[in-house]
Amino acid sequence: MSHDALPVLDLADLHAGPEAVERFREQLRVATHEVGFFHLRHGIDRAVVDELFATARAFFALPEEDKRAIEMTNSAQFRGWTRLGGELTQGQVDYREQIDIGPERPLRDDVDPPYLRLDGPNQWPAALPQLRTVIEAWTDRLGVLGRDLMAQWALSLGAPADHFTSTFDDASTLLKIVRYPGTEQTSQGVGDHKDPGFLTLLLIEPGKSGLQVQTDGGWIDVPPTDDCFVVNIGELMEAVTDGYLRATSHRVTAPAVGSERLSIPFFFNPALDAEAPVVPLRPEYAERARGVTQDAANVISTRYGDNLLKARLRAHPDVAARHHADLVGGAG
Ligand SMILES: O=C(O)CCC(=O)C(=O)O
Ligand SMILES: [Fe+2]
C-alpha cells in the first residue's frame, strides 16, 4: 500500500475507554506493518519540550573547547560529542553534530562478548550541569512510555501484554541530541538508514521539516507536526515479527543555509545481552509476514548488543579505530 503521509496516533486513546484502546492497538499494528513510521500525539506540556530544546541549544552554544573535552573519541562506549562531519552513514559523511548519552554505568572488567564494551559512563559537559538533569528526567519519562507501547504492540499482534516485559528490565536506551546546521556543501544531514534497535521516539524541534521516510511509493517528507513524536521501529522489531512489522529507511536532509534543525531521538532498547523474544503472531498476521530483510552489507542480529555494536563501529570509524581496532581489522 502506498502512503503519502504518516498515520497519526493519539496516546490519549489509551485513557479513553476500551473502544479507544482497541482502535489505538489496531492503528499501531497497521501503521508499523505498512509504513513502519507514525506520528504519536504525546500530550506532554509545551514547557517541558521548550526546556529540552533550550538546553540542547545551550549545549551546542558552548565554547568549542568545552565540547572537545567530551569528544566521543575519548570514549570506548561511543558516548559524548561528535563534531560536525564526524559520523558516517553508508560511508558518506553526515552533516550534523551531536551528543550521545546512554545508561550511566561503571566500566566493566569483563568485555567478552565484545558488545559489553558499550556499557560504561557518559561524558557530561562540566559547563552545563542542567543538561544531565533535563535529559535524565526525559529518559525516565520515555522509558515509561516505551514499556507501555511495547505492551500495546504485543497485544496488537496476539501475544500477551507482558511478552516484552522482562526483555526491557535492564533497558539499554540511547539518547542523542542532534544539530543539523544549514549548509551548501551537502544535502546529507544524516544518510539513509534503519535504526538498529526496537523502538525510536523522535522529538523534532517544532516547525522543522527535513525528515524523509521511504515508502512503497517512494520517499515522503515528514511535515512538522506539533505535540507529536515521530515513532519508528527498528531492526529488532522487524526480526521478532519475522518481518510482519517493518523497519523503514529514513534520512534527514540538511536545512537551508542560515537555518538549523535540532532533534532529540530516543532509542528504546533492551539490555545489551538480551536475545530479542520472537512474537507468536496471530495466524492471519503470520501469513503476511515478509521474513526479515536479508542484506549482506547489514546483517541483523537478534542479540541487541551485537546489532548495536555493528551500527556504532560503522558510524564512528574514528572511535572504532582508536578503541576497537581488533574488531575492525585495524592495527590493534
Ligand atoms: O534527526 C532526525 O530527525 C532523525 C535522526 C535519526 O534518524 C537517527 O539519528 O537515527
Ligand atoms: Fe534513525
Task: Check whether 298 has a pLDDT greater than 90.
Answer: no
- How does pLDDT run across 150-179, given as a tens digit for each residue? 999 999 999 999 999 999 998 999 999 999
Burial class (CB in 10 A: 0-12, 13-18, 19+), 160: exposed
Distance 196 CA to ligand 2 centre (A): 8
ipTM: 0.99
User: 268-295 pLDDT, tens per residue?
Assistant: 999 999 888 999 999 999 999 999 998 8
Per-residue model confidence (pLDDT) at position 332: 41
pLDDT at 192 over 60: yes
Q: With the C-alpha atoms ordered 189, 190, 192, 194, is the resulting torsion angle positive or negative?
A: negative
DSSP state of 44: -
Atom 1 of ligand 1 has which residue's CA nearest to it?
A: 263
207 pLDDT more than 90: yes
Using 50, 70 and 90 to split pLDDT, how confident is the model at 109? Answer: confident
Domains, the chain, with CATH or none: 8-328 (2.60.120.330)
Name the β-bridge partners of 204.
263
Q: How confident is the model at residue 330 (pLDDT cuts 50, 70, 90)?
A: low
The ligand placed nearest to the CA atom of residue 205 is 1
C-alpha span between 49 and 228 (Å, rounded): 11
- Element (DSSP H or E) covering residue 211: strand 211-215
Give pLDDT tens digits for 65-82. Answer: 999 999 999 999 999 999
Q: Mean per-residue pLDDT for 118-130? A: 97
Q: What is the pLDDT of residue 329?
A: 78
Output the pLDDT for position 234. Answer: 95
Q: What percent of the chain has pLDDT over 70?
A: 98
Q: Which pLDDT band holds residue 296 (cuts at 50, 70, 90)? A: confident
Q: Is the pLDDT score of 237 beyond 70?
A: yes
Mean pLDDT for 27-49 is 97
Ligand 1 atom with minimal separation from the 180 CA: 1
pLDDT digits (tens, 9 = 90+) for 55-67: 999 999 999 999 9
Buried b (16+ CB within 10 A) or exposed e, 292-312: beeeeebebbbbbbbbbbbbb
Instruction: Determine which of 11-20, 104-113, 177-186, 226-235 has the lowest per-residue pLDDT on average.
Output: 104-113
Percent of the chain scoring above 90 in pLDDT: 89
| pLDDT score, position 111 | 86
Cell numbers at residue 97, please?
553534530
Summarize the confidence of residues 195-221 as an average pLDDT.
Answer: 96
pTM equals 0.96
Q: What spacing in Å lies between the alpha carbon of 17 and ligand 2's midpoint?
A: 33
Pick the atom of ligand 1 nearest to 96's CA: 1
Q: Cβ < 6 Å from ligand 1: which residues?
A: 176, 178, 190, 195, 202, 204, 211, 250, 252, 263, 265
Q: Which among 52, 325, 69 has a CA at the least distance from the CA of 202?
A: 52
Distances (CA, A) of 134 to 52, 60, 142: 7, 15, 12
pLDDT of 210 reads 98
- Give me the pLDDT at residue 302, please: 87
String of DSSP letters for 238-293:
HHHTTTSS----EEEEPPPTT-EEEEEEEEE---TTPBPPPP---HHHHTT---PP
- Continuous segment of H or E residues that includes residue 192: strand 188-193
Q: Given pLDDT bands bounded at 50, 70 and 90, which one contains residue 3?
A: low
303 neighbors 115 (Cβ within 8 angstroms): yes
* Angle between helices 130-157 and 46-60 in degrees, nearest 10: 130
Pocket test for ligand 1, best of 89, 175, 194, 263 (most atoms within 8 A of CB): 263
Helix (H) and strand (E) counts in the chain? 9, 14
Q: Please tell me the distance from the alpha carbon of residue 78 to that of residue 117, in angstroms, as a whole number.
A: 10
pLDDT at residue 315 is higher than 80? yes
| Cβ contacts of 265 within 8 Å, gap of 6 or more | 175, 176, 178, 200, 201, 202, 203
Looking up cell 542479540 gives 303
Reported confidence tier of residue 206, pLDDT bands at 50, 70, 90 = very high
Provide the pLDDT for residue 299: 85
Ligand 1 mean position to 116 CA, how many Å? 24
Rounded average pLDDT over 258-262: 97
Q: State residue 2's pLDDT score.
A: 53
Please, which pLDDT band fits residue 5 given cuts at 50, 70 and 90? Answer: confident
List, as ranges, residues with CB under 5 A of the ion ligand 2: 195
Residue range 292-314: mean pLDDT, rounded: 90
Buried b (16+ CB within 10 A) or exposed e, 103-134: beeeeeeeeeeebbbbbbebbbbeeeeebeeb
